[in-house]
Amino acid sequence: MATIFTKIANGEIPSYKVAENENYYAFLDISPLAYGHTLVIPKHVEDDYIFHLDDATYTGLWAFAKDVAVAIKKAIPCKRVGVAVLGMEV
């Protein structure tokens, strides 16, 4: 069964895309804790727990998240961009 994140990445649930490549998708949170609050997800994974990811997907996710964080920092006036790992479905 597809997770809510898979449905978002596939366009079945609308989202505001921040960044995307073949394997990962970043979009604005619908209930942001701060301006620019963005979720970064793997696109082809049906498991919503981050530590179930294989090593290549896990490290690729972090590299993509870093690129997104750098872009957010350039676009939004802020001192830093924070990262939190919740690893669970909404």
40 touches 78 (CB < 8 A)? no
Q: How confident is the model at residue 41 (pLDDT cuts 50, 70, 90)?
A: very high
Higher-confidence residue of 49 and 58: namely: 58
Mean pLDDT across the chain, nearest whole number?
92
Q: How far apart are CA 77 and CA 18, in angstroms?
A: 16
Q: Show the domains of the chain with their CATH numbers.
A: 4-75 (3.30.428.10)
Q: What is the pLDDT of residue 21?
A: 98
